[in-house]
Amino acid sequence: MLTSRVAAALPRLLPCTRPYHKQALTNTIVKKKRSQLFTQEAQRQAALITDVEKIEVQYDGQPKNCTLIMNKGMSTPYNCAQHINQMIMERSVLAEVDGQVWDMHRPLEDSCTLRFLHFRQSDPYYANKAFWRSASVMLGALLESSFKDNLYVELCSYPSPNVRSGSFVYDVDIKIPEWEPTKEELRTLSGEMVKLSLAAHRFERLEVDASVALKMFADNRFKTQQIPQMAAQSTSGNTVVVYRIGDFVEVSRGPMMADTSHLGKVSIVAVHPIESNEVQLFRVQGVALPRGFLLNHFAYGVLEKRAQQMNSGRLPLNISSTKPQTQASTL
Amino acid sequence: MALSRLKCITHAMKNLSLLSHPDLRAPVCMNQVRAMSRVKRRHTVPPFWLPKTTRAMYPEHMTPENEIFLKDVIEEKYSSPLKADCWERGTWVKNSMRCGLIGRKIGIYPMWTKDGTRLLTTLLQVSDNQVIKYIKPEDMVQDKRKRYRELGALVVGADPIDPRIITKEYYSVFSEAGVMPKKKMSKFLITPNAKLAPGTPLYASHFQPGHYVDIAGITIDRGFQGVMKRWGFKGMPASHGVTKSHRRGGNIGSGGDKARVLLGTKMPGNMGRERRILRGLKVWRVNTQHNVIWVHGPAVPGGVGSYVYIYDSILPDHRHTQENHPPFPTFFQDEEEIEEELYDKELHTFREPSVQFAEK
């Protein structure tokens, strides 16, 4: 046991010595914690694969059908595309593995048939849905990092993607009673979305146990309620899927697009207040086009105008009015 | 005098006006002014503050259904069944100025008066004119003189353009008025009692037969011309020993004390493509269905198809009085009945009988 004088003489090794649970609750700290947990879990899961087994992936499509020998549990459809063609690699939004829609950066489990989905095919239904879903998640990433530190923003959820509704949304709890953003504020948010897109973050996918997910999202009272429900609906019964873009982690079910650079023109157009079980939430709405889709300002204005209308997607229900936390939860 | 005119011109250019006020520009008769040669008469490039009209087109690969949908959206947006915003309408008082119109020269046609005199008239079509904006006197960049301090302006637009092919900046000019974007715009100085709400349509019936107008336009571009065509020099004889100087300018200076070529010496150069105003043209006939105005003479500046700007005449002989002023602030054709063809009372109309025989 060091005497206090000796302890004082020793150089301080870390800038912040307070343990996590004693720090004030801010989005920055929470995001960092989640990202760290994600990295740890990803490393743990990667370490589980000791032997590299080979699988045969049958590719059907342009430029020609081929069979690829890939690594089981490690190779992703993106890796397959890298072997095939640069154009396929850049334009593919989703993969179709044995008829099932698959993330581009999700490891392949077994020998399978592989196809790639993109926005310009004749029926890009799944690609569009993934795009809309990913846009919602990116909006969530944006909302978590855009507010001042004294406001602890809790992301609630987003409804199932419906492109025909005219906008992608995210419901968020900002803990202020009213928020009517000015045109400049909306423009700033749109700019941040564009920055996210330019950063070209990958949608890193991880299937984790519900307990790990709960640890990650312990500071979000909405997610702590949603995760058990999502885990119950999963095939295994107790796992949920988490995605990470940059340093933002989100729990979600469906497939996401390959990376954020697939987002082209984007505008955050409206914020509608919604009441849900005594909780004041805000539904932030936006509209976007995939990268490479050119559209004149008038037609895009028509889309923006449509997106401003209150989105008809399902409102978050059954949110108990637990008191919002003021201190970060224990690890 | 020349310098003051120069100042007026530069002030008008600073005035952020698309076209300056008639009073500040060329007078009725053209005197040679030496200092004018230092002022640029033609500009190959539009002023920096003017927004670009059309944008760079790129392939959008829009489905046919979407194209049809957008056309419907445009139609619906710019064809509201509601009446345009109704502002209080001013009444005419002495020295009132009302806005003009933007027309297109569509041709020249002869007309005959009742005593058989033949005269040529120019047809000007006023196509889809609408008020875009009203600028209050306080918001105008003002001439310090009292008369101009009190004047506001109306920006009038003519001829619609597809909103998809124009730039966003240009489109924003019209979004406040809720008006279909226009190809051509002009600013008309007005007294505040002549103001009109944005979106108000203006028709040819704004001018009525018997009234006089001033017409401003860009003259036909004749390119680089010699002194005979450009300045009306007589040239030199074709023979009798004249060497190589049949169409040339001859002497260009007097020498002596002024040992230089004086500024403004008439020489060959670019002729035409200049803004000129023709004053005091009588309106002979107006067709209210096709919005055509017949004005006196064949000499309206510009070629057929070019835009002209039609103002109420400022000539003292044709000043308006309480008894003979035109419809003020404009003729609201949507609300009032008017005949299709309006003729000046001195004009012979071929539809009416010219010779009548009395029954014995």
B98-to-A213, A269, B190, B331 alpha-carbon distances in Å: 73, 42, 5, 11
Q: Please tell me the pTM assigned to this model.
A: 0.80
Instruction: Supply the pLDDT for residue A5.
Output: 62
Contact between A138 and A132 (Cβ < 8 Å): no
How is residue A225 written in tokens?
Answer: 């309620």
Q: What are phi and psi of A180, to 5 degrees?
A: -115, 95
Contact B171 A294 (CB under 8 A): no
Confidence category of residue B41, pLDDT binned at 50, 70, 90: confident
A212-to-A20, A196, A241, A318, A328 alpha-carbon distances in Å: 17, 27, 11, 23, 17
The minimal CB distance from A295 to the residues B60, B73, B163 is found for B60
The minimal CB distance from B171 to the residues A294, A295, A297 is found for A297
Confidence category of residue B37, pLDDT binned at 50, 70, 90: low
**Residue B228 host element (H or E):** helix B227-231
Q: How far is A324 from chain B (nearest CA, A)?
A: 44
Contact A299 B164 (CB under 8 A): yes
- For chain B, how many residues are written? 360
Q: What is the mean pLDDT of chain B?
A: 87
Contact B55 A296 (CB under 8 A): yes
Instruction: Supply the pLDDT for residue B299.
Output: 94
Which residues of chain A does B59 touch, with a Cβ-Cβ cutoff of 8 Å?
Answer: 294
Contact between A213 and A240 (Cβ < 8 Å): yes
Which residues of chain A does B60 touch, with a Cβ-Cβ cutoff of 8 Å?
Answer: 294-296, 299
Whether residue B329 has a cis bond before it, omega within 30° of 0: yes
DSSP output for B97-135 = ----EEEEEEEEEEEEBTTS-EEEEEEEE--SEEEEEEE
Instruction: Supply the pLDDT for residue A321.
Output: 38
Q: Can you tell me whether residue A282 is helix, strand or coil?
A: strand
B297 vs B256, more confident: B297
A302 touches chain B (CB under 8 A): yes
Q: How far is B154 from chain A (nearest CA, A)?
A: 26
Span B15-32, mean pLDDT? 43
Instruction: Supply the pLDDT for residue B29.
Output: 42
Contact B55 A298 (CB under 8 A): no
Angle A297-308/B168-175 helices, nearest 10 degrees? 50
Confidence category of residue B176, pLDDT binned at 50, 70, 90: confident
* Residues on chain B bordering chain A, Cβ-to-Cβ distance under 8 angstroms: 55, 58-60, 62, 66, 70, 73-74, 163-165, 167-168, 171
* Burial state string for B265-299 with b = 16 or more CB within 10 A and e = fewer than 16: eeebeebbeebbbbbbbbbbbbbbeebbbbbbeee
Q: B211-239 pLDDT, tens per residue?
A: 999 999 999 999 999 999 999 999 999 99
How is residue A137 written in tokens?
Answer: 């998640």
Q: Can you tell me whether residue A61 is helix, strand or coil?
A: coil
Instruction: Supply the pLDDT for residue A294.
Output: 94
Span B21-39, mean pLDDT? 49
A115 vs B32, more confident: A115
Q: Sign (positive/negative) of CA torsion A320, A323, A324, A329? A: negative
Q: What residues of chain A score a pLDDT lower than 70?
A: 1-22, 276-277, 318-331
Q: B68-124 pLDDT, tens per residue?
A: 999 999 999 888 766 666 789 999 999 999 999 999 999 999 999 999 999 999 999
Q: Across-strand partners of B129? A: B202
Contact A294 B59 (CB under 8 A): yes
Instruction: Supply the pLDDT for residue B94.
Output: 93
Cβ-based neighbours of A284, under 8 Å, separated by 6 or more? A139, A143, A169, A170, A171, A172, A189, A268, A270, A271
Cβ-based neighbours of B220, under 8 Å, separated by 6 or more? B272, B273, B301, B302, B303
Contact between B328 and B91 (Cβ < 8 Å): yes
Cβ-based neighbours of A145, under 8 Å, separated by 6 or more? A27, A28, A31, A192, A248
Chosen for mutation from B54, B67, B73, B76 (greatest number of chain A CBs closer than 10 Å) is: B73
Contact between B196 and B154 (Cβ < 8 Å): yes
How is residue A153 written in tokens?
Answer: 């923003």
- For chain A, how many residues are written? 331
Instruction: Supply the pLDDT for residue B357.
Output: 82
Contact A299 B55 (CB under 8 A): no
> Chain A residue with minimal CA distance to B55?
A296
Structure letter (DSSP) for residue B281: E
- What type of residue sits at position B28? V
Instruction: Supply the pLDDT for residue A11.
Output: 52
Highest mean pLDDT among B30-39, B217-226, B235-244, B351-360: B217-226
Which residues of chain B does A296 touch, with a Cβ-Cβ cutoff of 8 Å?
Answer: 55, 60, 164-165
Instruction: Supply the pLDDT for residue A149.
Output: 87
How is residue A221 written in tokens?
Answer: 């009272």
Instruction: Supply the pLDDT for residue B62.
Output: 92
ipTM: 0.79
A164 touches chain B (CB under 8 A): no
**What ranges make up the beta strands (E) of chain B?**
101-112, 118-125, 129-135, 152-160, 182-190, 201-202, 212-218, 223-225, 269-271, 275-287, 292-296, 307-312, 341-343
Cβ-based neighbours of B261, under 8 Å, separated by 6 or more? B252, B253
> Chain B residue with minimal CA distance to A305?
B73
Contact between A51 and A81 (Cβ < 8 Å): no
Whether residue A63 has a cis bond before it, omega within 30° of 0: yes
- What type of residue sits at position B247? R
Which of B177-181, B271-275, B315-319 is the least confident region?
Answer: B177-181
DSSP output for B33-61 = -GGGGGS----SS--TTSPPSBPPP----
Q: Quick check: B340 pLDDT over 50?
A: yes
Contact B60 A294 (CB under 8 A): yes
Q: Sign (positive/negative) of CA torsion A216, A222, A228, A230? A: negative
Q: What is the dihedral of CA B337, B339, B340, B346, to 10 degrees?
A: -150
Span B166-173, mean pLDDT? 93
Instruction: Supply the pLDDT for residue B146.
Output: 79
Which of A9-18, A171-180, B24-33, B241-250 is the least confident region?
Answer: B24-33
Q: Quote the percentage of chain B above a pLDDT of 70.
A: 88
Contact B58 A294 (CB under 8 A): yes
Can you tell me which residue has the tokens 């990650």? A216
Chosen for mutation from A289, A297, A304 (greatest number of chain B CBs closer than 10 Å) is: A297
